[in-house]
Structure 1
């Protein structure tokens, strides 16, 4: 199947069977997400992987009791950094130097760009920027899941403050942004399972500027 066929197949699954997704498929989705595009490559977010059924039952309570939370095989929580400081930038610079075998000093201009373009912003502006980066990774995860024949449901329907408190994310410097249950569609219980995909026509969506 082509990417377009996989994307036509996927939808925001409303009910799942509880069947476990093979670990190799989960690993593939996570690796694709790790390789996702990110502004300046910083990846200012953490992705929490939740398998524990009891914990997912607790999460369901702050996600308006949506069934996918507990019916999924795995639950991914995309959590943006609450702040971006020079310490995170320095760690990133060191990682680049280590991977590419270059001196950290050679990255001085790049570091300055990050410091001026990101770290100099207000704390809330930095969080909002980080959250947008997390959504880019979410898109990659959705495409990777579809390629693997795994259903995935992007969710904003939850109480972020309550989830952050439940998982002690504030202490970790994180704020929850979106959820992504991974599993398999329950075709008998999900009214959308056989529905045609509805999207805007390309003539409406795309505008060519002369």
Structure 2
């Protein structure tokens, strides 16, 4: 009797946890894959595997649903242009000699993100009706530490006291994503699970052992 009670309790916990993640289980604790909202079961395109956001549209982007939704809800009229964070001279700003940065994406649409609940969400993007443009920049040598920095003159005494580490800065930017609730298309404002990289900075540290 005790063993049965524990099993029933574990199934109840699994049901509760799975529902919170958007993955329903049946009464036996098995994942239900034949039903559910398709927008809650999207995956990142292969080109963005293991990433929390994606500039690739992929094959499963719900373009038709987005266009249908925007016919009813003209977000461009209500919200205007959305540029989350932009480097207007991004191609020219490649970081610096100590901490070079990636500048591949400047003012481009992000199509998918992992939201803070760990669910892949399609970002609402339409070239003719509503765009959300973002620029990303991250350290090419994340965590790299140099002592031979150009920030100080070689003869400076400060050079002997500090070292420079390359650190990527992230921002919690808002994304308007498409969701489906009670068989109706709508939108939700969410953030990514760990932010969007926007720049590479040089972070100074005092050396533990002064030479």
TM-score normalised by structure 2 residue count: 0.27
Q: Which has the larger radius of gyration?
A: 2
Higher relative contact order (CA 8 A, sep 6+): 1
- Kindly indicate which of the two structures has a greater share of residues assigned to helix: 1
